[in-house]
Amino acid sequence: MTQLVKVSNLKKNFGTFTAVKSISFNINSGEIYGFLGPNGAGKTTTIKMLTGILVPTSGKIEICGLDLLTHPLEVKSQIGVVPDEPKLYENLTGQEFLEFVGSVFLMDKDEMKKRIEELCDAFEINFLEKFIGDYSHGMKQKLMLTSVLMRKPKVIFLDEATVGLDAKSAKILKMLLKKYANEGSSIFMTTHVLEIAEKMCDRIGIINAGEIIAEGTLSDLRNESGKQSLEDIFLQLTGSTDEEVKEIIQNL
């Protein structure tokens, strides 16, 4: 199976603080990889390095067979990124934003138009002629998703992509991602909703304090930890037991 994402010994320092400590993992073609971890564990820093937003202190990132550091533009043309908090040009309309993205990625006009119409129908987007500055968080998220999904990139990175989406849109997104994975794309997603990770991801990596502390399929993680639910596995691995949580609640 083709490995579309290969990460080896990836490290990121901010001054004296090490946010990510030499992590390595791979994502296969057609695979959905869930990247979990508590707040401040290094998830967003990792995703930023994988998408060319942050330069790693050391390590190697290979996407679609290309080294991200030496071929950043070629890699970026094949990936799609949906951030946790979409910051967009407030004085552009949704349509102008999609035109801009389509132009930068050298999309075919007819293909783009068709894809946008399909996605607008799916996500019930009826506000493209309005200025982005007037959008709610969910609307911005839908626009950002459209701008990424209309291109059908080979690798899609999603950072808490379901936050702000209504139940129907979140369900459609999950099904679309599954469909894209079946068509050969790789999906790298971070989420705090463990149920999503449990249902969607083929493999899961858990990061804590900048280190990957567990990785594998859900059944691998179950076998290793002896726990059934992903929530229990996650809490055990990140150093919080059920008893500890109960004690905190009792003391409140």
Task: Tell me if 99 contacts another protein by CB under 8 A.
Answer: yes
Stretch that binds another protein, among 97-105, 161-169, 189-197, 217-225 (CB under 8 A): 97-105
Provide the minimum distance between the beta carbon of 93 and another protein in the complex, in angstroms, as a whole number: 9
Cα dihedral sign, 178-182-188-194: positive
Report CA 136 to chain centroid distance, whole Å: 21
Task: Tell me if 81 contacts another protein by CB under 8 A.
Answer: yes
Bridge partners, 27 (sequence order): 5
The residue within the footprint of another protein, chosen from 2, 24, 40, 104 (CB under 8 A), is 104
Q: Which is nearer to another protein, 56 or 205 (CB)?
A: 56
The residue within the footprint of another protein, chosen from 18, 26, 30, 74 (CB under 8 A), is 74
Task: Tell me if 114 contacts another protein by CB under 8 A.
Answer: no
Provide the minimum distance between the beta carbon of 53 and another protein in the complex, in angstroms, as a whole number: 5
List Cα–Cα distances, 227 to 35, 124, 145, 230, in angstroms: 19, 40, 34, 8
Stretch that binds another protein, among 1-9, 118-126, 169-177, 214-222 (CB under 8 A): 118-126
Q: Give the integer Cα–Cα distance in Å for 62 and 201.
A: 21
Task: Tell me if 106 contacts another protein by CB under 8 A.
Answer: yes
The residue within the footprint of another protein, chosen from 19, 63, 79, 155 (CB under 8 A), is 79
Q: Give the integer Cα–Cα distance in Å for 182 and 102.
A: 24
Question: Within a 10 A sphere around the Cβ of 245, how many other Cβ atoms?
Answer: 11
Tell me if residue 104 falls in helix, strand or coil: helix
Q: Which is nearer to another protein, 127 or 180 (CB)?
A: 127
Task: Tell me if 53 contacts another protein by CB under 8 A.
Answer: yes
Question: Within a 10 A sphere around the Cβ of 205, how many other Cβ atoms?
Answer: 24
Provide the minimum distance between the beta carbon of 178 and another protein in the complex, in angstroms, as a whole number: 23
Stretch that binds another protein, among 4-12, 117-125, 175-183, 188-196 (CB under 8 A): 117-125
First to last CA, the chain: 50
Report CA 219 to chain centroid distance, whole Å: 22
Q: Give the integer Cα–Cα distance in Å for 49 and 227.
A: 32
Report the site for another protein in 127-166 (rule: CB under 8 A): 127-131, 133-136, 139
Residue 125 structure tokens = 């987007």
Q: Which is nearer to another protein, 19 or 181 (CB)?
A: 19
Are the C-beta atoms of residues 187 and 33 closer than 8 Å to each other? yes
Bridge partners, 79 (sequence order): 155
Q: Which is nearer to another protein, 51 or 186 (CB)?
A: 51
Residues that bind another protein (CB under 8 A): 48, 51-55, 73-77, 79, 81, 83, 86-92, 95-96, 98-107, 109, 112-113, 116-117, 120-121, 126-131, 133-136, 139
